[in-house]
Structure 1
Amino acid sequence: MDALVTTEWLAGELHAPDLRTLDATWFLPADGRNAAAEFEAGHIPGAAFFDISAISDRTSPLPTMLPTAEQFAAQVGALGVGDGDRIVLYDDSPHHTAARAWWMFRSFGIAASLLDGGLAKWQAEGRALEQGPVRAVPRTLTARFDATGVRTIGQVKAILASHAEQLVDARSTSRFNGSDPEPRPGVVPGHIPGSANIPQGEFFNPDGTWKHLATLRALFEAEGIEVERPVVTTCGSGITAAVPAFALHLLGHPAALYDGSWTEWGADPATPKATGAA
């Protein structure tokens, strides 16, 4: 199955017995929206709600960190997702959070696809929605952690010395350059020195679909990123960092993601920090 599927394709496959559709909508507190409530108000028929906040490391002081393989398998299996299923992820968030769910599945060795245009495109085309909670039949899901796509704070510190990997920050320009305050207390403004800045919204067309591959490549190249060389993506808390990671996946160049991102880096007094343009 392609990494990016169309609404037309999903409509034709929606009732296939091996297809599992998950709504991975997530919002920042400042958005003032409730993803779970919006899911119950209207979702793609047969979809289950993939709660990014709940499917996270409960032992970490950092938000939405990757959980253990055992926790991921149990929680996602409870949504009715099992071994061998074809998985389609979508969202209705300005942060394009289905990409984060995609990266999580990938980190546990499970292939998944994104719905191009998400719920907004599905609705714009007049396609059916379903209301209310979903009671899934739990299934067995095998998850094995693959560390190759994950970076820790220690590894990112090493990158600053070795320059072995390029850093791409998906936050807004104003947060990247430090002119806007950070939304989380104790986190100073700025960015990791040497990072390029490509705000996550730049990867999408006005209708929420992904831009053409040539345009995606040009976005990276315009910021001095060589897509053939290793890339590590970052953001505020590891959510929108999955957007450039998915874009690189579409271009055939897998990237890693710094899960702690600026929430961890910006709160650590020992880490170097930069402000201003890249």
Structure 2
Amino acid sequence: MAEPLSPIVSSAWLAAHREDADLVILDASAYMPMERRDGREEFLRARIPGARFLDVDEVADIESDLPHMLPSPARFARQVAALGLHNHQRIVIYDQKGLFSAARGWWLFKVFGHDAVAVLDGGLPKWRAEDGVIEAGEPAPVEVGRFQPAFRASRVRGLGDMLANLKSGSALVLDARSPERYAGTVAEPRPGLRSGHIPGSRSLPFQALLNADHTYKPQAVLQRLFIEQGVGADSDVVVSCGSGLTACVLALGLELAGFSPASVYDGSWSEWGAQPDGVAPLRTGFEP
């Protein structure tokens, strides 16, 4: 088993430990379609030395019509083994935007039973601002690893779970999208989706958890933000967003705040917003 690792690490910590024999650094950058940027191409232009690229659109269920859905345990094991990963290693994940898709990478490893995983607080921008070393070009090849997953079903929810929750109300649903998207006052960035939110869900934009430099706010502030949305010590919390990326920022934030692990609605609005209203109802405006 790998040594324990805090959920987030600083640039200073990573600079001191990045050459540790059991530490692997992953760039899990992903962009929205309208951004017209490619995470892998930018990884080749500038990355933390020794980093490997974790493509969240490939370490995914590629047969699904929905973006970067959770892969099967077997596919996950093959994909991360191809990156040279083993169960005994510690993993630090970052992204090029600061803190956007890195949390999705963190959640993937958590889902498949690997707890020695952390997110670089502030990501590549913070690393560069603190004079961290950068390299470019094709990364050095790695030997295929061996990773044995241990699937945690409690960390993920599907459409059926969310429909059942409309009746039971047993789980508190937090929506990480912008207030405008939650309220349905703007069109969704992905074509063909309805606007609004899952009935009963609460709005907590992922940016509210972050400082201007894309690091997480202090624990006391995170606790207050979640408590204001109804999160308690024993709450069953499900987090959602547009496609399952920034929901994971909330999931990581909940753990940093000291709450129980959340579940991620993997299909998120890409799935819910594509359903007929009779199947998956929606609301607009803000929940009372």
TM-score range normalised by the length of the shorter chain: over 0.9
Does residue 1:191 correspond to 2:197, yes or no? yes
Identity of aligned residues (%): 43
Deviation at 1:4, TM superposition (A): 1.0
Structure 1 residue 95, shift from structure 2 partner = 6.0
CA contact (8 A) 1:164 1:230 kept: yes
Residue equivalent to 1:162: 168
Q: What residue number does 2:106 align with?
A: 102
CA RMSD of aligned residues (A): 1.2
Tell me, in whole angstroms, the C-alpha distance in 2 between the residues paired with 1:244 and 1:185: 25
What does 1:163-178 correspond to in 2, within 5 Å?
163-178=169-184
2:43 paired with 1:36: no
CA distance in 1 between counterparts of 2:46 and 2:233 reads 38
Structure 2 CA distance, aligned partners of 1:34 and 1:59? Answer: 21
Which residue is 1:261 aligned to? 268
**Shift, 1:136, TM fit:** 2.1
Residue in structure 2 matched with residue 71 of structure 1 by the alignment: 75
With 194-203 and 85-94 compared, the bigger mean Cα shift is at: 85-94
For residues 31 and 105 of structure 2, what CA distance do their matches in structure 1 show?
A: 13
Alpha-carbon distance between aligned partners in 2 of 1:149 and 1:46, rounded to the nearest angstrom: 30
1:277 is matched with 286
Q: Distance in 2 between matches of 1:66 and 1:150?
A: 9
1:127 matched to 2:132? The reply is yes
Aligned positions of 1:199-218 closer than 5 A: 199-218=205-224
Give the C-alpha shift of residue 223 in structure 1: 2.7
| Map of 1:249 onto structure 2 | 255
Give the letter aligned to residue 252 of structure 2: F
In 2, Cα distance between equivalents of 1:174 and 1:86: 38
In the other structure, the counterpart of 1:84 is: 88
Aligned-partner Cα distance in 2 for 1:121–1:228: 34
For structure 1, the residue ranges without an aligned partner over 5 or more in a row are none
In the aligned structure 2, how far is the partner of 1:96 from the partner of 1:80? 24
Question: Which moves more between the two structures, 92-101 or 17-26?
Answer: 92-101
Post-superposition Cα deviations, 1:206-244, rounded to whole Å, max 9, x if no partner, equal 111110011011111223333531100000111111011
Q: Is 1:51 paired with 2:55?
A: yes
Q: State the secondary structure of the residue aligned to 1:228.
A: coil
C-alpha change, 1:262 and 1:94, in structure 2 (3 Å) is farther
Runs of 4+ in 1 over 6 A off after TM superposition: none
Q: TM-score, normalised by structure 2?
A: 0.94
Do the aligned residues in 1 keep the contact of 2:98 with 2:126 (CA within 8 Å)?
no
For normalisation by structure 1, the TM-score amounts to: 0.97
> What aligned pairs does 1:206-245 form with structure 2 within 5 A after superposition?
206-226=212-232, 228-245=234-251
Pair 1:14-2:18 in alignment = yes
CA contact (8 A) 1:188 1:266 kept: yes
Paired amino acid for 1:155: D
- Per-residue deviation at 1:94? 6.1
SS at the partner of 2:261? coil
